[in-house]
Structure formats: structure tokens, C-alpha cells
A and B are shown apart, each in its own frame.
Chain A
């Protein structure tokens, strides 16, 4: 039943066919172009036993609010959005993020120390220089598949 929505993006298959990692700054759009994902990147993982982390920015160019409700990725047995918070004692706490609503014209960033795509149960390691597909699930049933380039473990942002 997801098939109807799964063809949302073509740029990924083009990139894969050409065997080229897409530039991390590339925009990746939903079919009706109302959702734009920018600057996706992930850190290389140390093997498969540790969870991977990925980051990106979502812009809502539509006229209705949308909610980012989840993630799906073949590379991860359990992909979800997490938030890291630092409490008043300076203790950092990681927890699943709830209800991320992006207003029309608004944007939402997953970035280090804030929100991240938590890729648990890695099915294969995240290798620097490679890419993997990640599907973003939205409340309006849009499923947007994007291509995430894997940067080094020590990367600080989409530019490395």
C-alpha cells in the first residue's frame, strides 16, 4: 500500500544509476515540490553494532502545515527521530522526538546536538564516501525518499 507514495523522488534513482554520490547540498523535493529536503548527511559508523546518526533540513513550501512523523530506511532495522536535550545540570539526554510540525514556509533542521535521525540496528555499516536511501514520512501521507551521503565520523556538518 505504500507503493503509491513510494515513487516520490526520482533524483535518487538517477544518482544511483550514475553511481555518483549526490552533493550534500543538493535539494531533494517531494513530487508536488511542497517539501524540500536540503543538506542531508550522516556520520560514518563504527561497524554495525552502534546506532548511526543522520542530519538534514526540511522546508515546507506548501500552504498547509505538515508533520514529520517518522523515518524508514533499509539500512536500519529501526529508524526514528531523536532529540538531544541538555538539562540545567549539564546532563545530555536523548529521547524520541514527538510531533514535529512544520508550518507553511517554515523549516525544521535535524542538526548535531538537537534533533537527529537515529538509525538503530544497522543492517550494514555506514561507510564514508557512500550514500544510502532514507525515507521521510509525513502526516499528509507523503513519503519522500532522499539520498544521504556518508561523511567521516569526525564530520561537523554537511560540508564535512
Chain B
């Protein structure tokens, strides 16, 4: 009887350990992002937007260089300017190596964020940061491909704000989704993640 109990205990421990490891990798802190929420690769996306200079842009604009992409809106008083400032700081820290990194801010509020608005807004941050806008269905298409969400929230006086996915998405030069940099992630983690996305390209170039 004792032996059976012991074996059962060991077995149960093993099962729990396996469950724990699984949880850690899938849902827990070891996960890159929530299950089923990983962005598609850029190569599997279809969208057509307009950059701050009025040029047509799509997934093909990004593929070929590593990319750093995030969603926001220019009427955002806190998270969006903070994220743009953070990104500007990361780019400064990476230095000349970051010159080939596509860095794109995509609005989730195309009704207010016109091409001219995006051009003015991004001009206050690192010169490499682009601002893309487009038709509402195209914004919806790209957000969907990224597994990003956004939602209009009406205020009291006819004003509205947007809830939106705040993380920064990283893709390697082949368009493969690498990881996200969560809002509030310290720079010590953010910059190595970007370097990792950039590294994938070097490896590919060497092989």
C-alpha cells in the first residue's frame, strides 16, 4: 500500500510539474504572448495604408528589413506620446545600427488622424518613426492580422478616446513575428529584444 501511495505521489508530482512547465511556456511569464494572440507574419498579411508623406504602403514596405510597429492615436495624452518617446530613446541607444529598422506608428483613429496630422505628430519624435493611416477597414485589417484590438470609448461631451493594444510588435527582416515589447517594459529588456529581431537578419544574410 505504501509503495502504491509513493508511486502515486511521484506520478502526481510529475503531472503537476509537466502542467506547470506547460503553463509557464504557454500562459505564464515564459510566454511570448497570449496563446492564439500571436501576430501573423507580415508575409501573410494584406493591407493598404498611407504613410506620412502620402505614399501607399503595405506589408511589402516592411518585409526585407526588421520592423517595429505599434498602434495608437494622436489624441492620446499619455500612453502614445510616452511610447513614441520610449521608442525614440531605444533608437538613440541602438544608434546607427537602427537605421535599417522600419519603425511605424499606426493610428487606430483614422477619422481624426489624417495624413497631415500623422506627418506633424511623428515629426516631434525620432526622425525614423513613420506614421501610417488609412481607411477604417484597412486599419481593421492590419490590427486583426496583428491580433491587436482597439475600441472607441465615448466621453461625456461628445469627445471620445480609444482603448488599444499598447505593446510594440517586432518582426525580423523576413517578416516573421519575433515578440512584443510590453508597455512599461524596461529599456534593459526592450533594446536586446530589438537587437534580437535585427540579429535574425544578419543570420539570414550570412547563411
Q: Measuring CB to CB, which residues of chain A are less than 8 angstroms from any residue of chain B? A: 43, 46, 49-53, 78, 82, 84, 86, 88-94, 112-113, 116, 118-121, 152-156
Task: Please state if B81 and A43 are interface contacts (CB–CB under 8 Å).
Answer: yes
A53 to B121 alpha-carbon distance, docked (Å) = 15
Q: A84-B79, A116-B78 are in contact. Are A154 and B166 (CB under 8 A)?
A: no
Interface residues on B, range: 20 to 34
Q: Which of B79, B84, B180 contacts A113 (CB 8 A)?
A: B79
Task: Please state if B157 and A82 are interface contacts (CB–CB under 8 Å).
Answer: no
Task: Please state if B166 and A156 are interface contacts (CB–CB under 8 Å).
Answer: no
Does any Cβ of A come within 8 Å of B182's Cβ? yes
A53 to B98 alpha-carbon distance, docked (Å) = 30
Q: Using Cβ atoms and an 8 Å threshold, which residues of chain B touch A92? A: 79, 163-166, 183
A143 to B75 alpha-carbon distance, docked (Å) = 29
Task: Please state if A91 and B85 are interface contacts (CB–CB under 8 Å).
Answer: no
Q: Using Cβ atoms and an 8 Å threshold, which residues of chain B touch A91? A: 149-150, 163-166
User: Smallest CB-CB separation from A83: which chain B residue?
Assistant: B78
Task: Please state if B124 and A90 are interface contacts (CB–CB under 8 Å).
Answer: no
A52 to B74 alpha-carbon distance, docked (Å) = 11
Q: A50-B75, A53-B78, A154-B81 are in contact. Are A86 and B88 (CB under 8 A)?
A: no
30 contacts between A and B (CB under 8 A): A46-B120, A46-B124, A50-B77, A51-B75, A52-B77, A84-B79, A86-B166, A86-B184, A88-B34, A89-B34, A89-B165, A90-B167, A90-B182, A91-B149, A91-B163, A94-B79, A94-B163, A113-B82, A113-B183, A116-B77, A119-B77, A120-B157, A121-B157, A153-B125, A154-B81, A154-B84, A154-B85, A155-B85, A156-B85, A156-B89
Query: Digit string of B168-187 for contact with A (CB within 8 Å is 1, else 0)?
Result: 00000000000010111000
User: Smallest CB-CB separation from B167: which chain A residue?
Assistant: A90
CB proximity to A under 8 Å, residues B79-127: 79, 81-82, 84-86, 88-89, 120-121, 124-125
Q: Which of A46, A113, A120 contacts B184 (CB 8 A)?
A: A113
Q: Measuring CB to CB, which residues of chain B are less than 8 angstroms from any residue of chain A? A: 33-34, 37, 74-75, 77-79, 81-82, 84-86, 88-89, 120-121, 124-125, 149-150, 157, 159, 161, 163-167, 180, 182-184
**Residue of B33, B125, B183 with highest tally of chain A CB at under 10 A:** B183
Q: How many A-B residue pairs have CB under 8 A?
A: 87
A45 to B149 alpha-carbon distance, docked (Å) = 26
User: Smallest CB-CB separation from B159: which chain A residue?
Assistant: A120
Q: Using Cβ atoms and an 8 Å threshold, which residues of chain B touch A51? A: 75, 77, 159
Q: A90-B182, A92-B164 are in contact. Are A84 and B78 (CB under 8 A)?
A: yes
Q: How far is the CB of A68 from chain B (nearest CB, A)?
A: 17
Q: A89-B34, A90-B166, A93-B163 are in contact. Are A113 and B85 (CB under 8 A)?
A: no
